[in-house]
């Protein structure tokens, strides 16, 4: 599983991290690293919830990649 994380910085200085393959996985952080860490944690929670409920999860070779 390889989930791409998109990173952007808001006008107010906060960082936002989105995982497009998992709708609703969007987090904010005061730093880039914090936003990415929160996105990874939320993505894992969403994947675990989907697995527990027999729903599909994105499949690939690795777990995460982070946009430069």
Confidence class for position 64, pLDDT limits 50, 70, 90: low
Ranges of beta strands (E only) in the chain are 3-9, 15-18, 26-29, 64-66
> 24 - beta bridge partners?
none
Say if CB 63 and CB 52 are below 8 A apart. Answer: no
Q: Tell me, yes or no, if the pTM score tops 0.75.
A: yes
- Looking at the predicted structure, is the pLDDT value of residue 68 above 90? no
pLDDT tens for 31-61 read 999 999 999 999 999 998 988 898 887 764 3
Q: 10 Cβ partners below 8 Å, 6+ apart?
A: 16, 28
Encoded tokens for 9: 């910085």
Q: What's 31's domain CATH number? A: 3.30.160.250
Segments forming the whole domain that contains residue 61: 3-66
**For the chain, what is the domain count?**
1
**CA atoms of 21 and 18, how far apart (whole Å):** 9
């Amino acid at each position: 599983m390889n989930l791409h994380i998109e990173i952007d910085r808001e006008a107010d200085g906060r960082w936002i991290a989105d995982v497009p393959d998992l709708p609703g996985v969007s987090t904010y952080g005061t730093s880039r690293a914090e936003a990415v860490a929160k996105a990874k944690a939320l993505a894992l929670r969403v994947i675990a919830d989907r697995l527990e409920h027999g729903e599909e999860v994105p499949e690939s070779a690795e777990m995460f990649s982070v946009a430069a």
